[in-house]
Amino acid sequence: DIVMTQTPLSSPVTLGQPASISCRSSQSLVNSDGNTYLSWLQQRPGQPPRLLIYKISNRFSGVPDRFSGSGAGTDFTLTISRVEAEDVGVYYCTQASQFPYTFGQGTRLEIK
Protein backbone atom coordinates (compact mmCIF):
# COMPACT_ATOMS: atom_id res chain seq x y z
CA ASP A 1 0.00 0.00 0.00
CA ILE A 2 1.09 3.60 -0.58
CA VAL A 3 1.77 5.31 2.75
CA MET A 4 0.81 8.98 2.97
CA THR A 5 2.69 11.03 5.59
CA GLN A 6 1.54 14.50 6.56
CA THR A 7 3.47 17.22 8.38
CA PRO A 8 2.85 18.88 10.72
CA LEU A 9 0.24 16.92 12.68
CA SER A 10 -0.93 20.11 14.33
CA SER A 11 -0.71 23.68 13.07
CA PRO A 12 -1.63 26.67 15.24
CA VAL A 13 -2.14 29.68 12.98
CA THR A 14 -3.02 33.33 13.48
CA LEU A 15 -6.15 34.55 11.71
CA GLY A 16 -5.27 36.24 8.42
CA GLN A 17 -1.88 34.53 8.21
CA PRO A 18 -0.94 31.79 5.71
CA ALA A 19 -0.77 28.10 6.54
CA SER A 20 0.69 25.15 4.68
CA ILE A 21 0.47 21.40 5.10
CA SER A 22 2.81 18.90 3.48
CA CYS A 23 2.04 15.41 2.30
CA ARG A 24 4.60 12.87 1.16
CA SER A 25 3.78 9.54 -0.49
CA SER A 26 5.90 6.41 -0.19
CA GLN A 27 5.98 6.07 -3.97
CA SER A 28 5.18 8.19 -7.00
CA LEU A 29 1.51 9.01 -7.48
CA VAL A 30 1.76 9.40 -11.25
CA ASN A 31 -0.87 7.01 -12.60
CA SER A 32 -0.45 4.94 -15.75
CA ASP A 33 -2.85 7.39 -17.45
CA GLY A 34 -0.42 10.23 -16.73
CA ASN A 35 -2.56 11.87 -14.07
CA THR A 36 -1.66 12.28 -10.40
CA TYR A 37 -4.66 11.52 -8.24
CA LEU A 38 -3.73 13.43 -5.11
CA SER A 39 -6.56 15.19 -3.30
CA TRP A 40 -7.00 17.26 -0.16
CA LEU A 41 -9.99 16.97 2.17
CA GLN A 42 -11.18 19.22 4.99
CA GLN A 43 -13.11 17.84 7.96
CA ARG A 44 -14.73 20.38 10.23
CA PRO A 45 -15.74 19.26 13.75
CA GLY A 46 -18.77 16.96 13.64
CA GLN A 47 -18.90 16.94 9.84
CA PRO A 48 -17.93 14.45 7.13
CA PRO A 49 -14.84 15.22 5.08
CA ARG A 50 -15.25 17.69 2.21
CA LEU A 51 -13.27 17.72 -1.04
CA LEU A 52 -11.11 20.83 -1.44
CA ILE A 53 -8.51 20.01 -4.11
CA TYR A 54 -8.20 17.17 -6.63
CA LYS A 55 -5.43 16.13 -9.02
CA ILE A 56 -2.87 18.13 -7.05
CA SER A 57 -4.10 21.64 -7.78
CA ASN A 58 -7.72 21.71 -9.00
CA ARG A 59 -10.14 23.44 -6.65
CA PHE A 60 -13.46 21.65 -6.29
CA SER A 61 -16.71 23.52 -6.90
CA GLY A 62 -17.44 26.15 -4.23
CA VAL A 63 -13.99 26.03 -2.61
CA PRO A 64 -12.61 29.51 -1.85
CA ASP A 65 -9.59 30.58 -3.86
CA ARG A 66 -7.51 31.05 -0.71
CA PHE A 67 -7.00 27.26 -0.89
CA SER A 68 -4.39 26.04 -3.34
CA GLY A 69 -2.48 22.83 -3.98
CA SER A 70 0.90 22.15 -5.51
CA GLY A 71 3.51 19.46 -5.90
CA ALA A 72 4.48 16.53 -8.06
CA GLY A 73 5.61 12.92 -7.82
CA THR A 74 5.78 12.19 -4.10
CA ASP A 75 5.70 15.64 -2.48
CA PHE A 76 2.60 17.80 -2.22
CA THR A 77 1.48 20.91 -0.36
CA LEU A 78 -1.85 22.46 0.59
CA THR A 79 -1.64 26.20 1.18
CA ILE A 80 -4.21 28.51 2.74
CA SER A 81 -3.25 32.07 1.80
CA ARG A 82 -5.09 33.77 4.69
CA VAL A 83 -6.61 31.59 7.38
CA GLU A 84 -10.18 32.33 8.43
CA ALA A 85 -12.01 31.06 11.52
CA GLU A 86 -14.11 28.64 9.43
CA ASP A 87 -10.93 26.85 8.29
CA VAL A 88 -10.52 25.17 11.69
CA GLY A 89 -10.59 21.39 11.34
CA VAL A 90 -8.54 18.43 10.23
CA TYR A 91 -7.02 18.25 6.76
CA TYR A 92 -6.23 15.00 4.97
CA CYS A 93 -4.35 14.18 1.81
CA THR A 94 -5.50 11.11 -0.08
CA GLN A 95 -4.28 9.21 -3.13
CA ALA A 96 -6.36 7.39 -5.73
CA SER A 97 -3.54 6.53 -8.12
CA GLN A 98 -3.17 3.00 -6.84
CA PHE A 99 -5.60 0.68 -5.07
CA PRO A 100 -6.11 0.46 -2.16
CA TYR A 101 -6.63 4.19 -1.94
CA THR A 102 -5.00 5.60 1.19
CA PHE A 103 -5.12 8.66 3.41
CA GLY A 104 -2.66 10.70 5.40
CA GLN A 105 -3.03 10.71 9.17
CA GLY A 106 -4.51 14.20 9.21
CA THR A 107 -3.29 17.66 10.23
CA ARG A 108 -5.26 19.61 12.82
CA LEU A 109 -5.50 23.32 12.00
CA GLU A 110 -6.28 25.50 14.98
CA ILE A 111 -6.32 29.20 15.67
CA LYS A 112 -3.73 30.65 18.03
Partner 1 sequence: QLHLQESDPGLVKPSETLSLTCTVSGGSISSPNYYWVWIRQSPGMRLEWIGSIHYTGNAYYNPSLNSRAAMSVDMSNNLFSLRLYSVTAADTAVYFCARVEVGVSVDYWGQGALVTVSS
- Residue whose CB is less far from partner 1, 16 or 47: 47
- 60 counts as binding partner 1 under rule CB under 8 A: yes
Distance CA 25, CA 64 (A): 26
* Smallest gap from residue 81 Cβ to partner 1 (A): 22
Residue span 81-110 as binding mask against partner 1, x where in contact by CB under 8 A, dash where not:
---------x-x-x-x--xxxxx-xx----
- Which amino acid is residue 35, in one-letter code? N
- 50 counts as binding partner 1 under rule CB under 8 A: yes
DSSP designation for 60:
P
- 34 counts as binding partner 1 under rule CB under 8 A: no
Q: Characterize 64-97 residue by residue with b for buried, 16 or more Cβ atoms within 10 angstroms of its Cβ, and e for exposed.
A: eeebbbebeebebbbebeebeeebebbbbbbbbb
Binding residue count for partner 1, defined by CB under 8 A: 23
DSSP designation for 47:
S
* Smallest gap from residue 105 Cβ to partner 1 (A): 6
